Structure 1
Amino acid sequence: MEMNSTINNKWRFCTFASFIGCIILLFCLNQGQERVKLSTLGNIGEPMALHNDSDQHSAANIQLLQPSNTIEYGKEINVEEVVDDGCNIFDGKWVYDPMTSPLYNGSVCPFLSDQVSCQRNGRPDVEYQKWSWEAKGCKIPRLNSTDMLERLRGKRVIIVGDSLNRNQWESLACLLYTAIPSSQAQVHVRSGVYKVFRAKDYNCSVEFYWSPFLVELEVNGEGGRKILRLDKLSASARKWHGADIMVFNTGHWWVHTGKIKAWDLFEYGGKVVEKMEIESAFEIAMKTWAGWVDKNVEKTKTKVFFRSISTEHKGKQWCYNESKPSMDDQSYASTFPHSIVEIAERTVGGMGAAVTYLNITKLSKYRRDAHPTVYTAKQGKVLTPMQQTQPHSYADCSHWCLPGVPDTWNRLLYASLVFDNSRDAFTS
């Protein structure tokens, strides 16, 4: 009897141990499945790889770019959330936003010029990259590069104007480049006068054409003198035809004087004159451009933008050694002639719905911290250490570091496209 009892106790113990073992095994299997699920979700949420064969990127840098490559606004857009006919996306404030800014890492853009590659040129601070523009009274969609590429599928974008529009082209090309494999991107650069970025899978292109006056400047005119032809568009205009999105600017070169003035003579109506009020010459040129748009742009197919003056920071508002935006509306007094701005606004306003005025002047005026200053290139050469110690002679307070302010210009360009499409959907 004692032996049978001992055997029974052992069987009970084995049965109990087996039962406990089964529970433990089932628990482990379940945890393994959960780990698989979590791992899968982690892969979905990881930032898109940045493609540049010559660069190795740290995990910190890749993580920094994650927000621009996840579908926050690229998903099905809530029309009721973003559509507000009373919203002015150009009026607002800069907000420190290190979690989502900048929108890309400048080191992944192999075509970024030395003129605006501030980090590559030795700028020691990065805080200027971490500010985001917020509009008053509405939400601006964050620029999603993949969504923008989808919107541009099969389309041409042309950006025409001076070096500030070239600044904008470099920004937009970098924004789109970070969203695709490098093997699917083509970049062709011919000095500073023509640049094109193509995304092959999307069959789209972003092209830059150098034309600081929009009208023709003949550099070897009568007697070797430079003639600004006010009633004739620049030669590159023949390549503007057929574009789906056009972004123009002019104004900065019109106010140059002395040695940096680009022309010697004006020509208008077949007559060559040496002297003319700049406002009169500028207005004739703007009307020449507006006439071309009215005559050559198919308004149901093409969206035309005219970008406003990009603020310089010179004199009392000097940009050197600034590290954060100004928050005071009264702290900046523009040195740019108001008459030129007024003519541009009047011309664009008179074109009705044909042209959208991309008014980036106010948001740019707060950002004297975001210029290249001495971390730039002059005449194609990066400033030497000795030149960097002479900011009064070499600081660039006109162009913008990238990543930087022009990314916001392109974000507002993107927002304009989103809002237009959303309104169409909302009203159809």
Structure 2
Amino acid sequence: MEKNSILPVNKQWIFSTLASFLGCSILIFSLSHVCDRQTLSALQDLSTSSATSRVESSRQVDGVAEDESLQKVTKRKCDIFDGKWVYDTNTYPLYKASQCPFLSDQVNCRRNGRPDFDYERWRWEPLECEIPRFNGTEMLERLRGKRVIIVGDSINRNQWESLACLLYSVISPSRAEVKVGSGVHKFFRAKDYNCSVEFYWSPFLVQLDDTPVKGSRVLKLDTMAASARQWRRADIMVFNTGHWWVHRGKLQTWDFLQYKSKLMKDLEVDAAFEMGMKTWAHWIDHNINPIKTTVFFRSISPEHKLGNQWCHNQTQLIMDESYIELFPRSITGIVEKTIQKMRTPVKYLNITRLSQYRKDAHPTVYTSKQGKLLTDEQRKQPQLYGDCSHWCLPGLPDTWNLLLYNLLVLDNSRKIF
């Protein structure tokens, strides 16, 4: 009887133990599953947060966060044209004039005898972010298979010489093709990268017919320059105009203005300029594919010809903000208004203010006139022969091209390169 009474108790104990074990197992499994879900959820949140951070980081440098040369760009929104000049003897100049044999006498100030060189050593530093140092090899790689055109007056030729020298100085001379004999078209090509940088002389962007008959020079406000047909199929375009529109007296290059077959002798500069800009804008909107081509318009390059801004014998920058804006503001306003109304996006290379500080950077008497270096006698007359319009190279236009490079890479809407 004892055995029979004990047996049911043992079975009950065994069953209770098994039930407890199963209950604990189920509880542990449930807790584990909950933990797994919580862990997974946490990981997903972390991953989402990380992805968001990467997106934000990428946005901070406008889509080029993985490009090591651009890691120094620390702000998502930054006006790279708002900044200060910093004297830099470690990284400037970006090249030597001797590295660029095709550099013209007009802007090769060191070769022409200018005794001071500090103008070569100033670096532009935006206030709200850092920008990378210009890297010619990297830019050539990014320009591989592409065509750049720079169109406008002699200041844009100044910029073309700068960009061509920046690129030429980092490759073997035997791997470059350069044609500079013509004053209306200049050409640089890096053979190993199959990329080219061209300059087209077109100071008005619209057509100036200069016939041999005296008094028949006609500026056609509704007709694009003849070279415009050669601008097509470029990947990057840089335009400027402005200075030649305000020339008067002997410097004025037209006798009549023409618009819709009507000849006009007298027309306000602003009205004529606005007509010409509309013709250019219409041509861009109807001939350029913005998916393939990026268009820039460079702002007015300041001159330093009057008073305490006269450039002769100047080795210091303008250090205050109270500079005199000599160029008509209305012309600048027409450019900006025209660009804003265009269907094609046009990037504004706004170099006016940062260049205004640099009265030290002009060739003055260390230049050429009509293809010949100034004589000693001419150098003694800087009021007549000093050049306070163009810029020494290496020098200020190298900064323009540095900023052009940054605008190309740090594009908000798409990656151009």
Question: Is the contact made by 2:108 and 2:392 (CA closer than 8 Å) also made in structure 1?
Answer: yes
| 1:130-279 matches, cutoff 5 A | 130-220=121-211, 224-279=215-270
Flag the 1:191–1:353 CA change in 2: closer, same or farther, 3 A: closer
| 1:26-105 matches, cutoff 5 A | 76-77=67-68, 81-82=72-73, 84-105=75-96
What SS does the corresponding residue of 1:319 show, helix, strand or coil?
coil
Structure 1 gaps, min length 5: 1-72
Q: Which residue of 2 aligns with 1:371?
A: 362
Higher Rg: 2
> How many Å separate the matches in 2 of 1:329 and 1:183?
46
* Match among 81, 88, 99 for residue 108 of structure 1: 99
> How many Å separate the matches in 2 of 1:324 and 1:297?
42
Question: Is the contact made by 1:74 and 1:147 (CA closer than 8 Å) also made in structure 2?
Answer: no
* Residue 351 (str. 1) matches residue 342 (str. 2): yes
> How many Å separate the matches in 1 of 2:72 and 2:399?
20
What SS does the corresponding residue of 1:90 show, helix, strand or coil?
coil
Amino acid at match of 1:323: T
Flag the 1:374–1:78 CA change in 2: closer, same or farther, 3 A: closer
Amino acid at match of 2:88: D
Q: Which residue of 1 aligns with 2:25?
A: none
* Residue 326 (str. 1) matches residue 318 (str. 2): yes
- Residue 418 of structure 1, CA deviation: 1.6
Residue deviations 1:156-190 (CA, integer Å, cap 9, x gap)? 00000000000000000000001110000010123
> How many Å separate the matches in 2 of 1:219 and 1:204?
33
* Match among 349, 353, 366 for residue 362 of structure 1: 353
> How many Å separate the matches in 2 of 1:78 and 1:389?
46
> How many Å separate the matches in 1 of 2:76 and 2:258?
42
> How many Å separate the matches in 2 of 1:337 and 1:280?
13
Q: Which residue of 1 aligns with 2:61?
A: none
- Residue 82 of structure 1, CA deviation: 2.2
Flag the 1:85–1:264 CA change in 2: closer, same or farther, 3 A: farther
* Residue 387 (str. 1) matches residue 378 (str. 2): yes
Amino acid at match of 1:324: Q
- Residue 102 of structure 1, CA deviation: 0.5
- Residue 335 of structure 1, CA deviation: 1.1
Question: Is the contact made by 1:82 and 1:419 (CA closer than 8 Å) also made in structure 2?
Answer: no
Task: Report how many residues are paired.
Answer: 351
Flag the 1:367–1:293 CA change in 2: closer, same or farther, 3 A: same
Structure 2 gaps, min length 5: 1-63
> How many Å separate the matches in 2 of 1:80 and 1:196?
33
> How many Å separate the matches in 2 of 1:225 and 1:140?
50
TM-score, normalising length: structure 1: 0.79
Question: Is the contact made by 1:83 and 1:419 (CA closer than 8 Å) also made in structure 2?
Answer: no
Residue deviations 1:283-316 (CA, integer Å, cap 9, x gap)? 0100100111111111011110000000000111
Flag the 1:222–1:204 CA change in 2: closer, same or farther, 3 A: same
- More divergent stretch after superposition (250-259 vs 84-93): 84-93
What SS does the corresponding residue of 2:164 show, helix, strand or coil?
helix
Amino acid at match of 1:291: H
| 1:303-318 matches, cutoff 5 A | 303-316=294-307, 317-318=309-310
> How many Å separate the matches in 1 of 2:382 and 2:174?
40
- Residue 81 of structure 1, CA deviation: 4.6
Q: Which residue of 1 aligns with 2:14?
A: none
> How many Å separate the matches in 2 of 1:177 and 1:74?
28
Question: Is the contact made by 2:239 and 2:298 (CA closer than 8 Å) also made in structure 1?
Answer: yes
Tell me the C-alpha RMSD between the 2 structures: 1.8
What SS does the corresponding residue of 1:173 show, helix, strand or coil?
helix
TM-score, normalising length: structure 2: 0.81
Question: Is the contact made by 2:120 and 2:394 (CA closer than 8 Å) also made in structure 1?
Answer: yes
> How many Å separate the matches in 2 of 1:222 and 1:77?
59
* Match among 284, 304, 318 for residue 275 of structure 2: 284
- Residue 192 of structure 1, CA deviation: 1.5
> How many Å separate the matches in 2 of 1:78 and 1:182?
25
Q: Which residue of 2 aligns with 1:420?
A: 411
* Match among 113, 117, 131 for residue 126 of structure 1: 117
Flag the 1:349–1:77 CA change in 2: closer, same or farther, 3 A: farther
Question: Is the contact made by 2:285 and 2:343 (CA closer than 8 Å) also made in structure 1?
Answer: no
Amino acid at match of 1:261: Q
- Residue 142 of structure 1, CA deviation: 1.3
> How many Å separate the matches in 1 of 2:114 and 2:181?
27
- Residue 348 of structure 1, CA deviation: 1.2
Flag the 1:204–1:225 CA change in 2: closer, same or farther, 3 A: same
Q: Which residue of 1 aligns with 2:397?
A: 406
> How many Å separate the matches in 2 of 1:381 and 1:75?
49
Amino acid at match of 1:393: L
Question: Is the contact made by 2:78 and 2:129 (CA closer than 8 Å) also made in structure 1?
Answer: yes
What SS does the corresponding residue of 1:369 show, helix, strand or coil?
helix
